[in-house]
Amino acid sequence: MRRALELAATPGVPHGPNPRVGCVLLAPDGSEIAEGFHRGAGTPHAEAAALAEAGAAARGATAVVTLEPCNHTGRTGPCARALVEAGVARVVFAQPDPNPEAAGGAQTLRDAGIAVELGLLEHESRRLNRAWTFAMERGRPFVTWKFAATLDGRSAAADGSSRWITDEPARRDVHRLRSACDAILVGTGTVLRDDPALTVRDEVGAPADRQPLRVVMGERDLPQDAKVFDDAAETVHLRTRDVAAVLAELHARGCQHLFLEGGPTVASAFVGAGLVDEVVGYLAPKLLGSGRNAVADLGIESITDALDLVVEDVTVLGSDVRITGRLRGKD
């Protein structure tokens, strides 16, 4: 199963819209027959790729798969049926398929007399497809809130300047995180104040091949010559302040992972609504003493009511520190 997970995480495989899946076929003596992984929407699923490599040797084999074999016909046929027809004797998978359109493969296998075991390294499989799994189970995108601030929590100086709070290593890291998301969101205030491009750029500043959807939230009109309306990426302006409505619209558009980069007002709206699933904070070793806060008033007056962050990672990037975590109480 660990090898199947490695295959699923092969560099260059898209993070969506389909899950990343790996498959290893084993002979009755435990030796490997074949392996495969899903390379993206429209390509053969992991099981199909492994079966094609194995040929007749798949009969009597054990299929070890990171995700329950699918049970529906889309751009490709159902993997559960393919395993049955190949004569596989046993299937071990890590994670049940949360997609109601594709689930049920385990029962199809059992009905055909194939031994089925599930749950092996399920946590690792869910982590591999974290945003996809979350969106399937919750019916909304996974939300990562990213901000950059000084040590005293300021995202901009008193004169409004906020460019380059962090140094280049941290800024490159932000582009890495952006590239793994389906959409980047800011409020109208950020567009009017900073005129950001909201694109993914590589280390030398060139646009990446794949650009997330640019999302602007808010009711104010925006100048049509703003950078977010150029042809570098698709942009949608959602004229609402309703956070839940924004997430519902993005989910309907197929967005599974939203990267929240808005200013303090937008951040406060998402945090206050309990709709931030991950926090990535870049802290620069600077002190301002005044200026715009990273997040607006959350209505918290006592330290006992503070929102606690469960820290999952702390990394030094040049002179800055990146802290990644989730709000306590979030799964």
Query: What is each CA distance from 290 to 149, 163, 219, in whole angstroms?
Result: 12, 16, 28
| Residue 170: per-residue pLDDT | 94
Contact 50, 34 (CB under 8 A): yes
Query: For strand 320-327 and strand 213-217, is the pairing parallel, antiparallel, or unpaired?
Result: unpaired
Task: Name 23's bridge partners.
Answer: 36, 65
Among 125, 123, 120, 168, residue whose Cα is nearest residue 148: 168
In the set 6, 32, 35, 47, the catalytic residue is: 47
Q: Could you list the residues known to form a binding site for substrate, using ranges.
A: 162, 178, 198, 201, 261
The reported pTM is: 0.90
Strands (E) in the chain, as ranges, are 22-26, 32-37, 62-67, 90-95, 115-118, 142-150, 154-156, 183-187, 213-217, 235-238, 257-260, 278-284, 292-293, 309-317, 320-327
**Cβ distance 58 to 87 under 8 Å?**
yes
Q: Give the least confident one: 51-65, 75-89, 106-120.
A: 75-89
* pLDDT, mean of residues 179-197: 94
**CB of 297 within 8 A of CB of 179?**
no
Q: Is 85 a catalytic residue?
A: no
Q: Which residues does the annotation place in the binding site?
A: 45, 70, 79, 148, 162, 164, 178, 190, 194, 198, 201, 261, 263-269
Question: Are residues 275 and 166 part of one domain?
Answer: yes
Instruction: Show the domain range for 172.
Output: 139-327
Split into its structural domains, the chain has a count of: 2
Picking from 84, 101, 133, the residue at the C-terminal end of a domain is 133
Q: Is the pLDDT of residue 296 over 70?
A: yes
Q: pLDDT digits over 60-93, tens only?
A: 999 999 999 999 877 778 999 999 999 999 999 9
- At 256, which CATH number? 3.40.430.10
Residues 160 and 93 grouped into a single domain: no
CATH number of the domain residue 41 falls in? 3.40.140.10
Q: Mean pLDDT over residues 44-64, rounded?
A: 97
The two structure tokens encoding residue 223: 């100048």
Stretch 124-139: mean pLDDT: 95
| Cross-sheet strand order for the sheet of 309-317 | 235-238, 213-217, 183-187, 257-260, 142-150, 278-284, 320-327, 309-317
For residues 81 and 97, membership in a common domain is answered with yes
Residue 90: per-residue pLDDT: 98
In this prediction, residue 37 has a pLDDT band, given cuts at 50, 70 and 90, of very high
**In degrees to the nearest 10, what's the CA dihedral of 257, 261, 263, 265?**
0
Q: Note the pLDDT of residue 206.
A: 60
Residues placed in the known binding site for Zn(2+):
45, 70, 79
Q: Do both 47 and 113 map to the same domain?
A: yes
Q: Say if residue 220 is in the same domain as residue 98.
A: no
Q: Assign 154 to helix, strand or coil.
A: strand
Phi-psi region of 314 (alpha: psi -120 to 50; beta: other; left: phi over 0): beta
